Amino acid sequence: MSLLFTFHNGSTWALVGLIWTIQLAHYPLFSEIGRESFQTYHQRYTKRITWVVAPLMFTEIGTAGLMVMTDFREPWFLASLLPLAFNWTSTWLVQVPLHEKLSAGFDKQAHQRLVSTNWWRVAAWSLRGVCLTFMSQSHVLND
């Protein structure tokens, strides 16, 4: 296994753990904060969580891009690119706009949509992790 794959795999699995934490702990608790405190809380939350999420997502997509550019064509890796593309698309077209709406104040519908649509990212990142694990195992067994 290459160092490049090690960084790629590590960033993916860090994001798998993070997305499950966000889905099961952070997002559901948004409705418990209270309307008077929510706007300030949410703005601070998004600023702080970005410092965790952004480096991992850029590492994941950057290392994936480098692997593609170096003709890395392992089937499990290639299969994992579809959920990677889905996660970036969903993040920018669904979750970010919902967070922007919530930054103005708690909105029950936006919150419910954030929680429900985020399950797709949970599934996609989990699928990526499984694909990379299968790839790792096939390389360990074949090396």
Domain count, the chain: 1
Q: What is the mean pLDDT of residues 72-94?
A: 96
pLDDT score of 73: 87
Query: Average pLDDT of the chain?
Result: 94
- Mapped onto helix, strand or coil, the DSSP state of residue 23 is helix
pLDDT digits (tens, 9 = 90+) for 11-58: 999 999 999 999 999 999 999 999 999 999 999 999 999 999 999 999
What single string gives the DSSP state of each residue in 28-76?
HHGGGS-HHHHHHHHHHHHHHHHHHHHHHHHHHHHHHHHHHHTT---HH
Q: Environment class of residue 37 by beta-carbon count within 10 Å: exposed (0-12), middle (13-18) or buried (19+)?
A: exposed
pLDDT band, residue 141 (cuts 50/70/90): very low
- CA–CA dist 27, 104 (Å, integer): 16
Q: What is the mean pLDDT of residues 99-113?
A: 97
pLDDT score of 64: 97
Q: What is the mean pLDDT of residues 77-91?
A: 97
pLDDT at 140 over 80: no
